[in-house]
């Protein structure tokens, strides 16, 4: 078995150079959508990889450092709020994933994508539902995408502190919606999303 999370025998990808691909930030009202692609080194296994949503923030940050140090290759890419509004969130997510794969310093022979659909790209790909908890390379990509997006939102919080982005990372929480109504729509908000669109009217 190559590149599978411990205990799994669902796939046999011997002789493939696998990159795992995942995204973070489809649901938020503000900020970019991020994607990461990771090719793990089978000779340098990383313990504790799993779906980033099931890890504490501190654990994600530690694993992100380890992934960047031990992986054969990794790349993080994004699509901006403007691109999300122009393309729609699904197509923007697919584009961010493609950018991440194309940005790898090592050419994969197969991309394993978390979810039920694959972006169009030159590398053969396969979608794996709940792949971020099944395939180690997808787990690693999930962690890199999530931590990278959190860092971006903390930076945006410094520019737009009135929206409390440090607390909700752009997701449509009651606090975020309250601050949106109070302060109006900013340049980093996704204007095609219903709660933001409603305020623009």
The binding site for a divalent metal cation consists of 22-23, 114
Nearest to 34 by CA among 126, 122, 155: 155
- Tokens, residue 60: 């994600």
User: Which residue is listed with tokens 């990509």?
Assistant: 141
Rounded distance between C-alpha atoms, residue 144 and residue 78, angstroms = 12
Which segments are annotated as binding site?
22-23, 114
Is residue 20 packed enough to be buried (19+ CB in 10 Å), middle (13-18) or exposed (0-12)? buried
Buried residues in 150-178 as b, exposed as e (16+ CB within 10 A): bebbeebbeebeebebeebbbbbeeebee
Would you put residue 180 in left (φ > 0), alpha (ψ -120 to 50) or beta?
A: alpha
Length in residues, the chain: 201
Cβ atoms within 10 Å of 97's Cβ, excluding its own: 31
């Amino acid at each position: 078995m190559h590149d599978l999370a411990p205990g799994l025998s669902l796939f046999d990808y011997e002789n493939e150079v696998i990159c795992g691909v995942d995204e973070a930030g489809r649901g938020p009202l503000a900020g970019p959508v991020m994607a990461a692609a990771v090719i793990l080194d089978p000779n340098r296994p990383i313990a504790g990889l799993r779906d980033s949503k099931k890890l504490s923030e501190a654990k994600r940050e530690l694993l992100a450092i380890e992934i960047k140090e031990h992986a054969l290759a990794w790349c993080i890419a994004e699509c901006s709020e403007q691109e999300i509004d122009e393309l729609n969130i699904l197509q923007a997510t697919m584009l961010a994933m493609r950018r991440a794969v194309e940005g790898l310093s090592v050419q994969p022979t197969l991309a394993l994508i978390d979810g039920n659909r694959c972006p169009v790209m030159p590398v053969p790909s396969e979608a794996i539902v709940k792949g971020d908890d099944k395939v180690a390379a997808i787990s690693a990509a999930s962690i890199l995408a999530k931590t990278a997006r959190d860092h971006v939102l903390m930076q945006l919080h410094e520019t737009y502190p009135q929206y409390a982005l440090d607390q909700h990372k752009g997701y449509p929480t009651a606090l975020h919606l309250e601050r949106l109504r109070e302060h109006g729509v900013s340049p980093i908000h996704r204007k095609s999303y219903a709660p933001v669109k409603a305020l623009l009217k």
